[in-house]
């Protein structure tokens, strides 16, 4: 009997060792943000395969699109669904909030491992000039009430992901942290509501933006291995801005009367293009430091212990607004076509290994749209370049970026090709008043990738349906129409 038990234990250990998380080095303690602002989204079912292959157990969404959410059903992956800012006013009606919960929460039953509903996304940003100041808190209360009345409020909590600009420190010391004066009363009421309902405070922390927004910001302080020390009261010292930022929030929560409110970092990452400090080397340095820190469960000086963090983001998104900066389209730890950008060990153990890519990715034909330098009339060139960049994505051409330094012809070709690819390689998208031509010769040059776009998943898998079912429906339509 003892030998049988021993054999069973060995078998169980072998099965555990063969799991994706074990092969990666241990259980993954980070989540990822899965954005949707791509001109050519990948198959949600393939993305979920990739998440599971890498042992990623948490996903944060920015909406509740049933297509990707449907792919997460029965996956075992913990989910945070999102309600966009433009729906906050709608959620001020309890009836609408109740309907939303019915359609996007209870409709999935226990098949979706839903943990949070994110009501808005950074709605109190200074850049929004108070647009969502009156609608966010009522929406939060209505959604939580709807969750409670639906019988799921004990396991699904409504939260509001907020940017770190909702709190300040007059002397730049974390101990002086407090909520912004213009929203202090609102924030105090909101964090007390979160506390009373067992919900966490979700904050987005971006050391890259600290560096981007100020030339005077100490460069090394943006990373976890910089060796810089900043002293605070009580002999506390900070070696990186992430910890300092986090503890500024913790002190703000103390002043608001909820010192023990759980904090989740909803977004933390580093872009890889679109700015002189946005590159693969620095991104890897940031993630290596962050993941190592998380693996040690060391927390921060004021709030030691385990931290819950969602990396931002999963993929590069070529349709994101570049108003904050060209880097906005390059936050992904994976490329637009689902390939890992650099080695990353999600367990924080420092293993130099690439993550598993998204499987089953299909591409458009291997062809490029380039400048035809033999064109007779080049007078319309400036206008066409401007159009291509406005409707496409030229963010890699800027100063210090991956495609900076190309000659004039290659610059023009890059702009034309990006528009051409984003338009599904439509031949009409490679005209530009006769200034462009299609070639099957790879146009990539000088370390600058001229991408070939993927076959958009939108044309391959109907939302909520597998390929086979979609095909059957298409045939049925042809037969009966």
Q: What is the pLDDT of residues 58-114, one digit of tens each?
A: 999 999 999 999 999 999 999 999 999 999 999 999 999 999 999 999 999 999 999
The number of residues in the chain equals: 481
Mean pLDDT confidence for 409-422 = 97
pLDDT-based confidence at residue 460 (cuts at 50, 70, 90): low
φ/ψ of 19, rounded to 5, equals: -70, 155
Mean pLDDT of the chain: 90
For residue 161, CA distances in Å to 85, 202, 204, 208, 363 come to: 11, 5, 7, 18, 35
Look at the block and give the residue holding tokens 């890498």.
Answer: 54
pLDDT grade for 350, boundaries at 50, 70 and 90 = confident
Report H helices in 198-240.
207-213
pLDDT tens digit sequence for 41-50: 999 999 999 9
pTM of the model: 0.89
- Whole-angstrom distance, CA of residue 449 vs CA of residue 403: 8
> Burial, 233: exposed, middle or buried (Cβ in 10 Å; 0-12, 13-18, 19+)?
exposed
**More confident site: 465 or 181:** 181
Q: Is the pLDDT of residue 25 over 60?
A: no
> CA 334, 42, 346: angle at the middle one, nearest 5?
30
Where does the pLDDT of residue 24 fall: very low under 50, low under 70, confident under 90, or very high at 90 and above? very low
Residue entry with tokens 């007779």: 376
Cβ distance 179 to 248 under 8 Å? no
**Helix, strand, or coil (residue 449):** coil
d(C-alpha 307, C-alpha 259), whole Å: 16
Whole-number pLDDT of residue 224 = 96
Whether the pLDDT of residue 141 is over 60: the answer is yes
**Which residues are designated catalytic?**
122, 267
Beta bridge partners of 438: 369
d(CA 474, CA 470) in angstroms, rounded, equals 6
pLDDT tens for residues 227-274? 788 999 989 999 999 999 999 999 999 999 999 999 999 999 999 999
Name the pLDDT band for 214 (thresholds 50, 70, 90): very high
SS3 state at 475: helix
| pLDDT value of residue 459 | 57
pLDDT per residue over 169-189, tens digit each?
999 999 999 999 999 999 999
CA separation for the pair 342, 354 (Å, rounded): 6
pLDDT at 458: 74
User: Dihedral sign, CA of 189, 193, 196, 198?
Assistant: negative
Neighbouring-strand partners of residue 34: 61
């Amino acid at each position: 009997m003892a030998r049988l038990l021993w054999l069973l234990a060995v078998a169980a250990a072998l099965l555990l060792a063969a799991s994706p998380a074990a092969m990666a080095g241990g259980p993954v303690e980070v989540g990822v943000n899965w954005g949707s602002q791509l001109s050519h989204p990948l198959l949600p079912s393939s993305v979920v395969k990739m998440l599971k292959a890498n042992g990623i157990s948490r996903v944060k969404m920015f909406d509740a699109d049933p297509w990707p959410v449907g792919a997460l059903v029965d996956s075992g992956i913990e989910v945070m669904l999102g309600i966009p800012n433009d729906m906050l006013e709608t959620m001020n009606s309890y009836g609408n909030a109740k309907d939303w919960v019915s359609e996007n929460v209870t409709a999935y039953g226990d098949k979706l491992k839903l943990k949070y509903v994110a009501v808005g996304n950074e709605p109190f940003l200074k850049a929004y000039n108070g647009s969502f100041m009156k609608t966010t808190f009522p929406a939060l209360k209505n959604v939580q009430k709807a969750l409670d009345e639906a019988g799921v409020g004990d396991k699904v909590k409504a939260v509001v992901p907020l940017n770190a600009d909702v709190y300040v420190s007059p002397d730049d010391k974390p101990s002086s942290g407090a909520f912004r004066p213009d929203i202090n009363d609102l924030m105090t009421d909101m964090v007390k509501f979160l506390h009373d309902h067992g919900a966490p405070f979700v904050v987005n922390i971006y050391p890259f933006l600290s560096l981007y927004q100020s030339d005077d910001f100490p460069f090394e302080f943006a990373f976890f291995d910089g060796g810089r020390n900043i002293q605070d009261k009580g002999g506390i010292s900070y070696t990186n801005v992430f910890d300092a930022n986090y503890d500024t929030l913790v002190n703000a929560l103390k002043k608001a009367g909820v010192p023990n409110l759980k904090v989740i970092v909803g977004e933390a990452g580093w872009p890889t293009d679109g700015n002189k400090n946005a590159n693969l080397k620095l991104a890897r340095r940031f993630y290596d430091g962050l993941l190592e820190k998380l693996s040690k469960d060391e927390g921060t000086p004021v709030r030691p212990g385990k931290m819950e963090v969602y990396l931002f983001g999963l993929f590069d998104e070529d349709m994101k607004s570049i108003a904050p900066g060209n880097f906005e389209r390059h936050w992904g730890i994976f490329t637009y076509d689902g390939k890992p950008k650099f080695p990353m060990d999600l367990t924080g153990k420092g293993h130099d290994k690439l993550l598993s890519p998204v499987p089953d990715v299909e591409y458009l034909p291997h062809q490029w749209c380039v400048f035809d330098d033999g064109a007779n009339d080049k007078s319309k060139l400036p206008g066409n370049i401007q159009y291509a960049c406005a409707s496409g994505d030229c963010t890699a051409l800027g100063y210090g970026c991956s495609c900076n330094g190309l000659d004039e012809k290659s610059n023009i070709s890059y702009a034309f090709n990006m528009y051409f690819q984003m338009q599904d390689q439509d031949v009409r998208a490679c005209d530009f008043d006769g200034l462009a031509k299609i070639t099957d010769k790879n146009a990539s040059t000088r370390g600058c990738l001229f991408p070939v776009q993927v076959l958009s998943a939108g044309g391959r898998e109907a939302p909520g349906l597998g390929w086979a079912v979609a095909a059957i429906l298409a045939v049925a339509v042809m037969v009966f129409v």
